[in-house]
Each structure stands twice: as structure tokens, then as C-alpha cells.
Amino acid sequence: MVNQSSPVGFFLLGFSAHPGLEKVLFVVVLTSYLLTLVGNTLIILLSVLDPRLHSPMYFFLSNLSFLDLCFTTSCVPQMLFNLWGPKTISFLGCSVQLFIFMCLGTTECILLTVMAFDRYVAVCKPLHYATIIHPHLCWQLIAVAWLMGLVQSIIQTPPTLHLPFCPHRQINDFLCEVPSLIQLSCGDTTYNEIQMAVASIFILVVPLTLILVSYSAIARAVVRISSTKGRRKAFGTCSSHLIVVTLFYSSVIAVYLQPKNPYAQERGKFFGLFYAVGTPTLNPLIYTLRNKYVNRAFMRLLGKDGDTRKS
């Protein structure tokens, strides 16, 4: 077996069984990455430069955009390299990628939960919104999200990297993730699988449950609104976030809670590709296309009157 502490690297198989698909994916991933850089950077700039977007909702949104920028940058360059050329990664490179990717993924799960809480207070307790969601609390919630991501990565990365890996060192994935590294091990992985299951409960199931509870309360509050315009406005403040949550969690759950069989593993690659590349690209599009305030801020940034519109 390969000494887990050695500098010997790994082979990232990715979609090597389909060479033609790899060339198509290279173009798709590169295009998506460029759109991610432009879209998320634009949201951050608008949230910082436009005073009308200096509110908790856009503070959390700008943090999500920053997180998505880091998330994709931690894996896409390596992915593009492997799609076009040699499918290798050093042990150190794999370790760094695993640590950063896990930290950022966990942080995003918590941040999406924080954003759901923000929307719950905005819809269900509008008169107390400014009192509850104050700037100090916003910074505290962001700090907690990043801290939980860091702690989760510190806890799970070392046991994963200390597994006795098989001599072929072939990772059946396009990046270094916990499930694919566990599959590469030729030793007993019971502890690692239990650890991953427990982590999935705390990082995926619990936050998703809190989000669903928040939106159940929001739905009840929206139903009680008498005017159609009021219901539409309340729904509009939450729909973009709900779409992002659905896309992100459905793809992550498909990767981390998949059954052990070859078909599920191949399908998991596409879901993993989607949450690593697709969701960070779609997030700014979802928020800008469905948010008139962001659209107006963008028009003002271009020097146009974003407030001129039909009533």
C-alpha cells in the first residue's frame, strides 16, 4: 500500500472514460468559471458601492458571492488542467484542495441557513427586523459560518488523508473529496464512514431542516397576507434564495448520501460537477434576474437611471 504520508500523488480519473465528453466539459467549465468570476464580483461591487444595498440581505448575499468565488477557484483550475492534460495531482495539492473545499462547502451550508433565518425575520417579524438583524449580529453569524467550516475541515481532513490508499492511487472523481478518497482506501474505512455520516447530519440534514422550518413559517405568514400585491412582494423576497437552496442541497446530498454502486458513483460525478461549478455560476444570475433592486443598482453603476421604470 502507498504510505499515506508520502509525497506520491494521485490520478484523478474524472471523465477519462469519455474523452470526447472531456473536451466539451472543458469549454463548459471554463465558460461557467468566467461567468462565476464576473457575476459574483459584480454582486460584491454593487453591495459595497451602492448605499441602497447596505442592508443585511445584501450583506449576506455579497458574502455568498465571495464564498462562491473562493469555492470555484479552489477546484476549477485543477479541474481544467485535468480535463485538458495530465490527470495527476500531488499529495500536497490534494490535501490542500480537500481542506479548502470542505471548509468552503460547510460554510456555504451554514450561510444558506443564516440567509433563510434573515428571510424568516423579514417576512414573519417585519416590525422587529431592524432590531433583530442588526449589523453586529450579521457579523457574528458570518463568523460562526466560517468558524464551523474551518472546524469541520480540521476534524475530517486528517483522518481522510491518513487512510491506507490502494497502490493504483486512482481517484474516481475530478477532485479530492472525502467520499472518493474513502473509496480509494484498501483498509478499514468504518471510522471514516461513520465520521462522514455524522458530519452529513450536522452539516447537511440539520441546516436543511432549519431552512425548511423557516420557509414553512414564511409560507404560513404569506398565506395570511390579505392583498395579492403583499403576497407577491413577500414571496419575491424569498424565491431567489429558495431556488439557490434547492439547487445546492439537492446536488450536495446526491454526492454525499449516495448508495455504494458504480452507477451512483458515475451519477455523483455529474452532481459534484454541478455543485462545484454550476451553482456558483447560477447564483448571481438567479439573484440579479429576480431582484429589481440589484438590477437598478447595476443600472446606476453603468450611469443610467435605475429608478426610471413603469409603475
The C-alpha angle with vertex 62 and arms to 59 and 67, in degrees rounded to 5, equals 125
- The answer to whether residue 38 is domain-embedded is yes
CA distance 71 to 69: 5
Instruction: Give pLDDT, residue 308.
Output: 45
Instruction: Give pLDDT, residue 289.
Output: 66
Reference 289, options 220, 236, 223; nearest CA is 236
The model carries a pTM of: 0.86
- The answer to whether residue 109 is domain-embedded is yes
**Splitting the chain (311 residues) into consecutive groups of 10 residues, what average pLDDT does each group show?**
53 77 88 92 88 87 93 88 82 91 92 93 89 93 95 93 88 84 88 88 90 91 78 76 88 73 65 84 80 74 57 34
Reference 151, options 206, 197, 110; nearest CA is 110
- The answer to whether residue 217 is domain-embedded is yes
CATH number at residue 211: 1.20.1070.10
Instruction: Give pLDDT, residue 211.
Output: 94
- The answer to whether residue 308 is domain-embedded is no
111-120 pLDDT per residue, tens: 999 999 999 9
- The answer to whether residue 199 is domain-embedded is yes
197-239 pLDDT per residue, tens: 898 888 888 999 999 999 999 888 888 877 777 777 777 778 8
Number of structural domains found in the chain: 1
Instruction: Give pLDDT, residue 232.
Output: 77
Instruction: Give pLDDT, residue 222.
Output: 84
Reference 130, options 24, 55, 28; nearest CA is 55
Q: For the chain, percent helix, then strand, then coil, each to nearest 5?
A: 75, 5, 20
- The answer to whether residue 7 is domain-embedded is no
Instruction: Give pLDDT, residue 5.
Output: 43
Instruction: Give pLDDT, residue 235.
Output: 75
- What cell numbers appear for 34 in the block? 468566467
Element (H, E) at 282: helix 279-289
Instruction: Give pLDDT, residue 265.
Output: 64
CA distance 301 to 82: 38
129-148 pLDDT per residue, tens: 989 999 999 999 999 999 99
CA distance 171 to 175: 8
Residue 49 structural domain: 13-301
